[in-house]
Amino acid sequence: MKAETLWFNTGTLCNIECVNCYIESSPTNDRLEYITADEVSAYLDQIVERKWSVHEIAFTGGEPFMNPQIIEMTRRALSAGFEVLILTNAMRPMMRPRVQEGLRELRDAYPGKLTMRISLDHFRAEMHDEERGKGAYAVTLDGMRWLRDEGFAMAVAGRTLWGDSEADSRAGYAALFDVERFPIDATDPGRTVLFPEMDAQADVPEITTSCWRILNKSPHDVMCSSSRMVVKRKGADSPAVLACTLLPYSPEFELGTTLEEAERPVKLNHPHCAKFCVLGGASCSV
């Protein structure tokens, strides 16, 4: 496969519990355990061994900064020559002094190679807090201001749950970024990512082979054609490689324990495949 991004789920534990979290992260959900730096390194070695064309390592959760080894994992990925993307809510786990010190060291040692994508569900506080809890918006903006002042590259992940048009959403984010002096391009889909609603129970159209031509899309456009995700299930002897970052609990999308096993084709037979990736046109990578 022509791989571009290898994702690692650092664990499903999170400092908050969101209403529509696709992975059901919370302060108590440990269905995916903390992955370790040594386990990450083993897959970084496999990228080289398998001659995968990966240029980006991405960490998601849960909240990655809950994992006590996140700085070391990031350091190993950067030192191996990869760019790194960390998905975070930019709240208290990221703002701990030990974490801040580690991030500064990585910023200085690997300039331009580390990006933080902050989950900012809406540009208005009331919508963001509806999803993440009262006061969450203010805390996240404080974290973003620290990232801004420290010179970190930032991106934002928003949601389209509230029915705003894409144009209105991007205009709203642009106004916020301007006021806050956040160096984020609201017009760039890779820097301001707007995720469609993810509801596995909702009825979605079936995508047939003839639909690709009608939609002017290709199977090579969807994320599972160019990325894989590594998770560590609670009680498992070793991590597993999955086809998609959105489907950590679906056994039919588990491909094995090694990157070699994960090189096989993926069947697009989950509701998220149609609604999120094909019709929604979304991608989790920058």
Mean pLDDT (whole number) for 149-167: 94
In a domain, 245, yes or no: yes
Determine which of 9-13, 74-78, 198-202, 256-260 has the lowest per-residue pLDDT on average: 198-202
In a domain, 278, yes or no: no
Q: What percent of the chain is modeled with pLDDT above 70?
A: 82
Write out pLDDT tens, residues 107-120: 999 999 999 999 99
The residue with greater pLDDT, 45 or 205, is 45
In a domain, 215, yes or no: no
In a domain, 29, yes or no: yes
Is the previous residue joined to 62 through a cis bond, with omega within 30 degrees of 0?
yes
CA atoms of 91 and 17, how far apart (whole Å): 13
Tell me, what's the pLDDT at 232? Answer: 96
In a domain, 178, yes or no: yes
**How many domains are contained in the chain?**
1
Q: Which residues pair with 118 in a beta bridge?
A: 88, 156
Q: Which residues pair with 255 in a beta bridge?
A: none
Tell me, what's the pLDDT at 268? Answer: 56
Q: Is the pTM of this model over 0.85?
A: yes
Do residues 67 and 61 touch, judged by C-beta distance below 8 A?
A: yes
In a domain, 281, yes or no: no
In a domain, 279, yes or no: no
Segment holding 134, helix H or strand E: none
CA atoms of 260 and 59, how far apart (whole Å): 21
Q: What is the mean pLDDT of the chain?
A: 88
Tell me, what's the pLDDT at 56? Answer: 97
SS3 273: helix
CA atoms of 111 and 82, how far apart (whole Å): 12
Chain Cα centroid distance, residue 123: 19
CA atoms of 153 and 187, how far apart (whole Å): 16
Q: How many CA atoms lie within 13 A of 146 on its CB side?
A: 20
Do residues 223 and 273 touch, judged by C-beta distance below 8 A?
A: no
Which residues, including other chains, have CB under 8 Å from residue 169's CB and lie 6 or more apart? 123, 158, 160, 194
The CATH number for 236's domain is 3.20.20.70
Domain boundaries, position 92? 5-202+224-268
Burial of 257 (0-12, 13-18, 19+ CB in 10 A): middle
CA atoms of 25 and 13, how far apart (whole Å): 6
In a domain, 210, yes or no: no
